[in-house]
Amino acid sequence: MATSDFWQRVSSSVSASANGPNARAEKPGHPVFGRDSFWIVLDVLTILGAVALATVYRFHTTPIAGARGVLRGTLIHGRSLGILLILLCGYTLALVLTSRRFHLYTPMRIASILHEQRLSAQACLYSGLLLAGTLYLIHAEDISRTLVLITVGLVTVALGLRRLAYRLIIYRQFEAGVGTRNVLIIGVGAEAQALRHHLNSIRHLGYTFKGFIDLPGSGSQIASTSGEVVGKLDSLFQITRKLFVDEIFFTTQCDREIVHDVLDQAQFHGVDLRVVPGMYDGHAWNSPIEYIGQFPTIPLHRGHVPEMGLLLKRAMDLVLGAMAMIAFSPLLLAIAIAIKLDSPGPILYFSERLGKKGIVFRCIKFRTMVRDAEKRRADVLHMNERDGVLFKMTNDPRITKVGRFLRKYSLDELPQFLNVLRGEMSIVGPRPPLASEVREYKLSHLRRLDVMPGITGLWQVQARRDPSFDNYISLDTTYVDNWSIWLDLKILARTVGVVIAGTGS
């Protein structure tokens, strides 16, 4: 078992290097603002809603009349809008700063439900006391203390319920294997085995164990020939790429230089890194300890996750996907009838594709080929017009008459809005590949599977007829590396022109 002195030296030494001038890792225990911004915005909206409800209840007015009263200075006689806004902003700022101090904006899996609820109530109480003290100091006897108490009470209840509801939703997704983080454990000793059991047995932590990394000379008493050992330390980041690993846990004693090297590569590859100190050692540590369930860990690197952007992207997918299915329903019916009349066979074609992190799903399209197209594939392989692993040909004899029209205007892909609504695809993203294609990928090509596949994407609007596989991969990885909501909107706008122009094949 690793000693406390060893992990203390590692954590303090690595922390110093990670905060150097060239480091990209965030400081352990202090999440970057980008990670917090989404939850801060929700807290602010919750406070505004609580203030509005408290005002309506206390003054027996309507929200519109209350807002007019605040603006005109008639809601609380003698109190200007400026003073009320300063008090509201001060209370909001105090609550946000207190919540940050209590680490309520850190990843959810770090704290238990009860601990999070206690800290949430504590943050609301401290902020409420600060507001009450400010009112006393400025002699604001005309501002109702009942209004203050109701506001603080509503904020406390609302924040607690919101955090509880979010946890329950996320826990259900974790149980279904959605949104979990893939984990590798460095070491095969007792600590590693205990951590693996811990992550597998507590599903709501949101981790999926992918394997052990053997570290030669670590003194392990556990045989390293287990089928769960997926490789050695020298191939660690090739394995993380193949298995779409999000986080690495260090559980075995080794030289500090090895930890430094792994940290540098983790920063470069965007993989989170934690070390596990002695499990039953009660000593204090120089670096902050974060508990994963009951396991103490020291975070050495935690990458930035654009949570707010991803939520907006998912919301956009749901709204636009639902609108598209409703708006195109007459067209979908007409296409279904045309396919049925044109050639024998099913209306829809289901193809197994690989989605985010290599998850297999059934991609839905309108059938555009004859019923036995797969059996005749070998007969037309020599006519492929694309290089690399892609297969595409302009005059494929297996395509039906209706199918050719559907492909020309990309109408065959309309049913994929169902995949979007089911959370298997996004409207914008790299096209979902076949498993046979991915088997031919180089390691760097797997980067395009780090995000949700899409109906349209950068390649479709910029180089759809380009036969180069390298350009195809380059455009997809460019999208992954430079993703933003604004980029999605620009791709959607260009997609309209591409579809109207009929550049499909």
H or E element, residue 161: helix 145-175
CA distances from 242 to 62, 206, 217, 453, 478 (A): 58, 20, 25, 17, 19
pTM metric for this prediction = 0.74
pLDDT for the residue 384 = 60
Domain ranges for the chain: 4-25+180-303, 33-175, 308-501
Q: Is 441 left (phi over 0), alpha (psi -120 to 50) or beta?
A: beta
pLDDT for the residue 390 = 65
Query: What is the distance between the alpha carbons of residues 277 and 280, in angstroms, rounded to a whole number?
Result: 9
pLDDT for the residue 111 = 67
> Which of 287-291, 352-356, 446-450 is the least confident region?
287-291
pLDDT digits (tens, 9 = 90+) for 145-163: 787 888 899 999 999 999 9
Please name the CATH architecture into which domain 4-25+180-303 falls: 3-Layer(aba) Sandwich (3.40)
Place of tokens 């501002």: 143
> Which of 23-32, 137-146, 296-305 is the least confident region?
23-32
* Mean pLDDT, the chain, integer: 80
- From first CA to last CA, the distance across the chain in angstroms is 61
Q: Quote the tokens at residue 295.
A: 């396991």
pLDDT for the residue 226 = 57
Query: Which whole number is the average pLDDT over 464-472?
Result: 75
Q: Which residues pair with 353 in a beta bridge?
A: 361
Query: What is the distance between the alpha carbons of residues 314 and 309, in angstroms, rounded to a whole number?
Result: 9
* Neighbour count for residue 146 (Cβ, 10 Å): 11
H or E element, residue 250: strand 247-250
pLDDT for the residue 118 = 92
pLDDT digits (tens, 9 = 90+) for 61-116: 555 555 555 555 545 555 556 677 788 889 999 999 999 888 888 766 666 788 88
Q: Is 124 left (phi over 0), alpha (psi -120 to 50) or beta?
A: alpha
CB 102 within 8 A of CB 122: yes
pLDDT for the residue 156 = 94
Rounded to whole angstroms, the maximal C-alpha distance in the chain is 89
pLDDT digits (tens, 9 = 90+) for 233-284: 889 999 999 999 999 998 887 777 888 888 899 988 889 998 887 543 443 3
Q: Quote the tokens at residue 58.
A: 């206390």
CA distances from 26 to 99, 126, 274, 480 (A): 19, 28, 13, 21
Query: For residues 293 and 408, which has the higher predicted lDDT (pLDDT)?
Result: 408
Tell me which long-range contacts 116-123 makes (C-beta under 8 A, separation of at least 24): 116/163, 116/167, 117/160, 117/163, 117/164, 120/156, 120/159, 120/160, 120/163, 121/156, 121/160, 123/95, 123/98, 123/99
CB 346 within 8 A of CB 366: no
> Which of 102-116, 242-256, 378-392, 469-483 is the least confident region?
378-392
pLDDT digits (tens, 9 = 90+) for 8-52: 454 454 444 444 434 433 443 333 344 567 788 888 998 888 888
What φ, ψ does residue 280 adopt, rounded to 5°? -110, 20
> Which of 11-20, 30-39, 349-358, 393-402 is the least confident region?
11-20
pLDDT for the residue 15 = 47
